[in-house]
Amino acid sequence: MSAAAALWLTIGAIGLYHGLNPAMGWPLAVANGMSEHRARAVFATLLPLGGGHLAAMAVALLPFAWLTFYVEWSRAIRLGAGALVLLFGLFLLVQRRHPRALARIRPSRLAWWSFLTATAHGAGLMLVPFMLKLCEAQPGQGDAHATMMATLARSSLATAVAVAVVHTLAMMLAGLAMAWAVYRYLGLKFLRSAWLNLDRVWAVSLIAAGIAGLVTTL
């Protein structure tokens, strides 16, 4: 398996992990279905939750994509990004309290809630080391500096968008599958008896992503 294929698989796997994490919103889909007594209501939350998550990914990834214009600083940028993700993971591991502002957002504003939740949890930051590795310049693609800069700029922005889309689609698939399973088969009793608190796992995942970014750059 090529390095690029492994990176894309990792991005998809992180999306599945985010989708299965209750913090990213699938319990809201179950609640929506239960309150309206319709299966369609579960699916109605898919686009708002996914759209908010996609926006959070884009906000985190696109600035780093623009930074790769500066080819001579690409190594320093990747090291800085890995360190940032690592430090954010350590912060979440120590500070486990959720921002109070998230509790004051009405359920009708699912996309806004999803965006703020994913941003507060550093979901987009987790993808930055993998996106930068995909964006790094490949040798032998051109000799002229201007040509290389233009090619890198296009590929970086396109890759950032592709990473956000692939990740979000995987997240939506996993979240919808979990919400449908609970709504249709497992019921609310499952949530009371098998609730998973993944905050500490999430923080460790960020730390692992940061370390991966640093190791692949050094």
pLDDT tens-digit readout, 12-50: 999 999 998 888 888 888 888 888 888 888 888 888 999
Least confidently predicted of 53-57, 139-143, 170-174: 139-143
**pLDDT band at 104, cuts 50/70/90?**
low
Domains of the chain, by residue range, sit at 3-138+150-217
Backbone dihedral angles phi then psi of residue 85, each to the nearest 5 degrees: -65, -40
Over residues 67-102, the pLDDT tens digits come to 655 555 667 777 888 888 888 878 877 776 655 555
Is the per-residue pLDDT at 156 higher than 80? no
- Average pLDDT (102-120) is 73
DSSP string, 10-47: HHHHHHHHHHHSGGGSHHHHHHHHHHHT-HHHHHHTHH
- The predicted structure's pLDDT at residue 148: 47
